[in-house]
Structure 1
Amino acid sequence: MPAAASTAAPQNYLRGIALRLLAMASLSLMFVVVKYVDRAGIHILESLFWRQALVLPFLLMWVQTTGGFASLRTNRIGAHARRMLMGLAGMACNFGAMILLPMAEATTISLSVPIFAVIFAALLLGEATGWQRWSAVIIGFVGVLVVLAPWASLSGGFVGDHGIGTLVALAGAIMTALITIAVRDLGRTENAATIVFWFSLLSMVPLGLALPFVITPHDGTEWLLLIALGVLGAVVQMSLTGALRLAPVSVVIPMDYTSLLWAIVAGWWFFGTLPADTTWVGAPLIVASGLFIAWREHRRHINRPKEVAA
């Protein structure tokens, strides 16, 4: 089904790249809002609830103008539920990392997702992985270690918010990589809009059950922050999916690394923070590894078109 959708959509590489860049800029702004929401004393579970709830109306309008509501029918509700649980865990870790760490550092660790995705694809899906991609994984993992600076734990480096934040960010990257595998499996039978819709809708169940225990009264400014969180979340999700409808993965994925530039600028502008010295050293290794993995994936699809068509 995804292949059919992609062939039906007219290809426009420049618009696809522009949408991916918009998604990365919006994602950085969303994480700025996440930090302000936390500073307002709003519980992370409540922020997750409103982030998901306010995305749903935008998703419904999007579905209506594309495949129609009939496209939301699914015979794999169990797989969607598992993806939802992983998605909420990953989103909570990513939110938590942004709250506990400077934006650039949290973003750098999140860019290690392709590295872990290669590992899990080999272990869980049995995908063939040549020495070139394993070499890229090793280089990227070295970059992750540099950013995490585990040797600092000898002097208490993993004590306090910053140390916990690095571990939360790493957990978020690992969980997001697992989500990538789950979405790849769902993509065999479901289109992108269906996957995003069921994730958002099903997440309302656990978040709705938790909401009465964490919700607090809000003033006008706090409600504006929560609305901004939901609107920016909708822009991110629809831009990401729209980019993939207009251009191949190999064309748009490299744009994801602009998120690090946005995070550096946003962290400095809004919070007066700059990346740690280890981030400046580790980030280029992680980015180079991710770009090489994306390029190798592109070459594999070119060399094996029959497998892609299947």
Structure 2
Amino acid sequence: MRISRLFSVHRQALSARTITQLDRMPPTQSYLPAILWVLLSTFIWTLIFAAGKLADGGIGVFQLTLFRYFGAILTLLALLPTQGEASAHRSRQPFVHLARAFSGCGAAVAITWASANMPLVDATAIGMSYGVIAILLGTLVLKETVSGRHWLAVLVSLVGVGTIMLSKGAFQSGVSVVPALVALASAALFALEGLLISVLGRSERAFTVMIYVTFFGFCLMLLPALITWQSVSPKTTALCVLLGPLGVVGQYCTIRGYRSAPLSVVAPVDYSWLFFSAILGILVFDEMPDTATWIGCFAIVVGGILLARAGSGRS
């Protein structure tokens, strides 16, 4: 109940113009621009998350993420003069920014641990459930209306996800209870982060949101990175830092998408991560997907098209 009241307060605090635009959308309102923003964001984050695979264990996930946050901080400081005075980006809800950073970092750590303690495909399959959880949060907390067409689009995407996972042997070797619960916790945290991005993106400037989450993320990653620190070459360090500007672009695209459409529309678009991963695997890692994977990717694309054509789903 307290959580519902908390987000109710933040919902009421959104700008009158934004709320009017969101609540008075006609039934034929196209969400295609928002979906395209999130698609671009997902593509960028696919590239960033592939950095760990490219490093092939040469750098720990905490250290890599810390370097990325450091690069993002440098990028945002360089852009600050073009965004007005620093005081203009002072948020009245810093604890919501902290909660968003905590949920995002917590989700990343949880899915990383689960993936290391159970089959990767199983952990990913459970983690991908965050799209459905995000829709439930949107309906319960933000009072969004989810139409039958939305649910159909999500179902088609989930069928695609399930096809890919089962073709890779998901859940065929048994699932350990504790890692499975941790993977499920990561899905819940990812969904919570999406909810917070939706709230913050509609009430504050994108640059303000990026500044806060980057600073809090850096602070949250500092201690784990120091504990697991390992010596890396200057070239590796520079490449990890250069992920920072790319992450800033990814954040901006995420915020633009999440504030332009209901959570029930944009959250399932993240399933395209599997499609982009398949393409990246072909081009970079020489990993040729099988037929079932292509069928699953096709279903995900169809689900995204149905989601774009579903409109607002309001009567």
- TM-score, with normalisation over the residues of structure 1? 0.69
Amino acid at match of 1:53: F
Length, aligned pairs only: 284
Pick aligned residue for 1:275 from 283, 286, 289: 289
Q: Secondary structure at the match of 2:91?
A: coil
Aligned equivalents of 1:289 and 1:255: distance in 2? 9
Amino acid at match of 1:36: L
Alignment pair present for 1:82 and 2:99: yes
* Counterpart residue number, 1:29: 47
Q: Residue 214 of structure 1: CA displacement?
A: 0.9
Aligned equivalents of 2:156 and 2:196: distance in 1? 25
- TM-score, with normalisation over the residues of structure 2? 0.68
5+ long unaligned stretches in structure 2:
1-13, 19-32
CA pair 65-226 structure 1, distance change in 2 beyond 3 A: same
Q: Which structure shows the bigger proportion of residues in helix conformation?
A: 1
Alignment pair present for 1:189 and 2:203: yes
Q: Residue 30 of structure 1: CA displacement?
A: 2.3
Q: Residue 208 of structure 1: CA displacement?
A: 1.4
Amino acid at match of 2:50: V
Aligned equivalents of 2:36 and 2:158: distance in 1? 30
Native 8 Å contact 1:118 1:137 kept in 2:
no
* Counterpart residue number, 2:67: 50
Amino acid at match of 1:184: S
Q: Give the 5 Å matches for 1:169-248.
A: 174-238=188-252, 240=254
* Counterpart residue number, 1:307: none
* Counterpart residue number, 1:62: 79
Amino acid at match of 2:240: L
Aligned equivalents of 2:114 and 2:283: distance in 1? 19
Aligned equivalents of 2:269 and 2:162: distance in 1? 24
Aligned equivalents of 1:112 and 1:291: distance in 2? 20
Amino acid at match of 2:81: Q
* Counterpart residue number, 2:153: 136
Q: Secondary structure at the match of 1:121?
A: helix
Q: Secondary structure at the match of 2:287?
A: coil
Native 8 Å contact 1:110 1:170 kept in 2:
yes
* Counterpart residue number, 2:26: none
5+ long unaligned stretches in structure 1:
6-14, 305-310
Deviations 1:48-80 (A, max 9, x none): 111112101212233431243223211212111
Native 8 Å contact 1:35 1:98 kept in 2:
no
CA pair 244-69 structure 1, distance change in 2 beyond 3 A: farther
Aligned equivalents of 2:183 and 2:309: distance in 1? 25
Native 8 Å contact 1:27 1:236 kept in 2:
yes
Aligned equivalents of 2:289 and 2:126: distance in 1? 12
Amino acid at match of 1:35: K
Q: Secondary structure at the match of 1:129?
A: coil
Deviations 1:90-113 (A, max 9, x none): 3446777999869xx97x998876
Aligned equivalents of 1:244 and 1:134: distance in 2? 19
Deviations 1:204-244 (A, max 9, x none): 22211222211111123322332233233234334555x66
Q: Which moved more, 1:178-187 or 1:259-268?
A: 259-268
* Counterpart residue number, 2:4: none
Native 8 Å contact 1:56 1:200 kept in 2:
yes
CA pair 248-90 structure 1, distance change in 2 beyond 3 A: same
Aligned equivalents of 1:22 and 1:288: distance in 2? 17
Q: Which moved more, 1:192-201 or 1:115-124?
A: 115-124
CA RMSD of aligned residues (A): 4.5
The alignment-based identity, stated in percent, is: 25
Native 8 Å contact 1:111 1:287 kept in 2:
no
